[in-house]
Amino acid sequence: MLLKGILFDLDGVITDTADYHLKAWQHLANSCHLTIDATLAPQLKGVSRIDAFKLILAHNHSRDRFSQTQIKQLCDDKNDYYKSLIRNMTQDNILPGIPEFLISCQKHKIKMAITSASFNAPQLLNSIGLTHYFDHIVDPATLVRGKPDPDIFLKGAHALGLLPSECIGIEDALAGIRAINAAGSYSVGIGDQHTLSEAKLVLPTTAALSLTLFT
Ligand code: B16
Ligand code: MG
């Protein structure tokens, strides 16, 4: 494959915010007497806010406990808490090796897009000063279906003017790896080899990212 584009997940790939999402879900779950155990926690990664809350409800056998209006309000509450956690984000929240990797990609004229499910992505990227590296940020509001559906990665490649097969996707969540594979891009997982075994390549941390792996 001649690599022409990279489709980056944000939370857990560029920033350490995956833990902040989980913290905000834990906070909401506690207030509703719901539990999030070690099996459920990784399943919440990468999926949209509403889908994550539905997973929490299903896991607690509480699918019908709240009305649609209440669900929307509780998701807003989670987002308010999450936003309070990321209010003071700085460059210190960028994961190891990411600035060097972005500089190297830019030098080699590789196009880059953000393919994050998060509505907070543009603001977060601004806070950490990385917006200028990216040619496009896919707007999650335009998605028909969230990860693991390939939609977000297909839109990312298209916005870069590339075929999905000319891109790699980098993800920390299984839902994201499945979406990349379904889009027809080369999937790179960041994290646990066992959890992300469906990825074409798994790296333990972002510090291991290097263009030499893909050329
Ligand atoms: P928000 P990513 C995802 O971001 C997170 O992994 C996931 O935990 C979160 O539910 C989702 O964004 C939506 O985020 O509530 O901020 O709109 O991993 O796709 O960058
Ligand atoms: Mg992620």
Nearest-CA neighbor of 47 among 186, 155, 190, 178?
A: 178
The pLDDT assigned to 157 comes to 98
Query: How much is the mean pLDDT over the chain?
Result: 97
Q: How would you list the strands of the sheet with 201-203, edge to edge?
A: 136-137, 111-114, 5-8, 167-171, 186-190, 201-203
What distance, in Å, lies between the first and last C-alpha atoms of the chain? 8
Beta carbon of 79 within 6 Å of any ligand 1 atom: yes
Ligand nearest to the CA of 52: 1
Q: Is the confidence at residue 25, as pLDDT, over 90?
A: yes
The pLDDT assigned to 149 comes to 98
The pLDDT assigned to 185 comes to 98
**Residues 51-57, mean pLDDT to the nearest whole number:** 98
Q: Rounded to whole angstroms, how far apart are CA atoms 137 and 59?
A: 32
Output phi, psi for 155, to 5 deg: -65, -40
The pLDDT assigned to 215 comes to 82
Beta carbon of 6 within 6 Å of any ligand 1 atom: no
Residues in the chain: 215
| pTM summary value | 0.96
**Residues 94-99, mean pLDDT to the nearest whole number:** 98
Q: Rounded to whole angstroms, how far apart are CA atoms 133 and 111?
A: 9
The pLDDT assigned to 32 comes to 96
Beta carbon of 93 within 6 Å of any ligand 1 atom: no
Please tell me which residue in 9, 51, 76, 172 is annotated as part of the active site.
9
Residue 137 CA from chain centroid, whole number: 12
Q: Is 51 a catalytic residue?
A: no
